[in-house]
Amino acid sequence: MLNVQNLNIYYGRKQVIKEATFQIQPGEIVGLIGPNGAGKTTIMKTLLGLTKFTGTITFNHQPITANSHQPLQQVGALIENPAVYPFLSGRENLELYSQDTADMKRLINRLGMDTYIDEPAKAYSIGMKQKLGIALALLNKPKFVILDEPMNGLDIEATILIRQIIHEYAAQGTAFLISSHVLSELQKVMTSVIILNHHEIVMNVPIDQFKNAPVTQYQIKTLDNEAAAKILKANDIFYRRQNQSLFINIADIDQVQTILRHHQMMLRELVPVRKTFEQSIVEVLKEKLVDE
Q: Which residues bind ligand ATP (CB under 6 A)?
A: 11, 16, 34, 36-42
With respect to ligand ATP, which residue has the nearer C-beta, 42 or 222? Answer: 42
Residue ranges of E strands in 111-234: 144-148, 175-179, 192-197, 200-206, 215-222
Is 61 exposed, middle or buried, given 0-12, 13-18 or 19+ CB atoms closer than 10 A?
Answer: exposed
| Closest residue by Cα to residue 196 from 73, 9, 35 | 35
Neighbouring C-beta atoms of residue 238, cutoff 10 Å: 11
User: Which H or E element spans position 132?
Assistant: helix 126-138
CB of 44 to ligand ATP, least distance (A): 8
CB of 93 to ligand ATP, least distance (A): 24
| Closest residue by Cα to residue 146 from 160, 136, 131 | 136
CB of 147 to ligand ATP, least distance (A): 13
CB of 11 to ligand ATP, least distance (A): 3
What CA–CA distance (Å, rounded) separates 11 from 52?
A: 9
With respect to ligand ATP, which residue has the nearer C-beta, 37 or 112? Answer: 37
256: left (phi over 0), alpha (psi -120 to 50) or beta: alpha
CB of 86 to ligand ATP, least distance (A): 24
Is 132 exposed, middle or buried, given 0-12, 13-18 or 19+ CB atoms closer than 10 A?
Answer: buried
Residue ranges of E strands in 149-238: 175-179, 192-197, 200-206, 215-222
- Residue 178: strand pairing partners: 31, 147
With respect to ligand ATP, which residue has the nearer C-beta, 46 or 89? Answer: 46
CB of 216 to ligand ATP, least distance (A): 29
With respect to ligand ATP, which residue has the nearer C-beta, 36 or 212? Answer: 36
Sign, CA torsion 154/160/164/166: positive
With respect to ligand ATP, which residue has the nearer C-beta, 15 or 191? Answer: 15
With respect to ligand ATP, which residue has the nearer C-beta, 93 or 179? Answer: 179
CB of 284 to ligand ATP, least distance (A): 15
- Residue 78: strand pairing partners: 147
CB of 45 to ligand ATP, least distance (A): 8
What CA–CA distance (Å, rounded) separates 222 from 260?
A: 9
With respect to ligand ATP, which residue has the nearer C-beta, 203 or 253? Answer: 203
- Residue 175: strand pairing partners: 144
With respect to ligand ATP, which residue has the nearer C-beta, 90 or 150? Answer: 150
